[in-house]
A and B are shown apart, each in its own frame.
Chain A
Amino acid sequence: KAGVTQTPRYLIKTRGQQVTLSCSPISGHRSVSWYQQTPGQGLQFLFEYFSETQRNKGNFPGRFSGRQFSNSRSEMNVSTLELGDSALYLCASSSTGTANTGELFFGEGSRLTVL
């Protein structure tokens, strides 16, 4: 069974540009969450989608957005990139609608560097 796939794995952008990251969840999983991981802040929740609806959003500016498609694949977009957006962006999928088991399946992440 294929795991969570994130593309691209690495990318370098300059300030002011925008970026789109993609996540394909495990087959059959309808929940997709996105996290930003930095050395100083750790894993910070960005947003969550379930059956194409955004259910939850973290404390990030409006430059961060996302969506989920009917096949459960998800994308996140960051516009007007800032140096502080450099991070590992992780996608996680789940077969359930709530974190009652705590078991999320993470991809390997997209490493974004903003110059």
Chain B
Amino acid sequence: EDQVTQSPEALRLQEGESSSLNCSYTVSGLRGLFWYRQDPGKGPEFLFTLYSAGEEKEKERLKATLTKKESFLHITAPKPEDSATYLCAVPGRGATNKLIFGTGTLLAVQP
């Protein structure tokens, strides 16, 4: 069964202190790896899609990378507004919009 595991569960950073979040996956034939951001009391918001090892995507202070077994979300010089839960997911098999999510990393950036 396809699985997604995220680490750490929680991360506290000082403003400007760069770090990375990890998402490891076990799937039979990767069909994409997706990153979402979720703010408290809100639904997840789509960030990135990665399809193949070596691929990178960037958005402001966030950069997502992909290897054959894991993905990293690098946060460079974070700001307090980057505080959120970051989720990664892989698609279910076949003709479906089902996503299999990891349990997320709760990021807190302190000023």
Contacts and interface: CB of A to CB of B under 8 A. Distances in A.
A63 to B, nearest CB: 20
Interface stretch (A11-19, A73-81, A97-105): A97-105
B43 A107 contact: yes
* Size class of the B contact interface (CB-based, 8 Å): 20 to 34
Contact of B96 (A55, A92, A102, A106): A55
Interface string A78-104: 000000000000101010111111111
B97 A96 contact: yes
B98 A103 contact: no
B59 interface: no
Interface string A44-75: 01001010000110100000000000000000
A56 B95 CA distance: 9
Contacts of B98: 33, 45, 48, 56, 58, 99
Contact of A108 (B43, B89, B95, B102): B43
A92 B92 contact: no
Interface stretch (B18-26, B44-52, B72-80): B44-52
A66 to B, nearest CB: 14
Given A42-B103, A42-B104, A102-B32, A48 B43 contact: no
A100 B91 contact: yes
Given A43-B44, A45-B92, A104-B99, 17 more contacts: A41-B103, A48-B96, A48-B97, A55-B96, A56-B98, A90-B44, A98-B94, A98-B95, A98-B97, A99-B32, A99-B99, A100-B31, A102-B89, A102-B91, A102-B99, A105-B46, A106-B44
Interface of B: 31-34, 41-46, 49, 87, 89, 91-92, 94-104
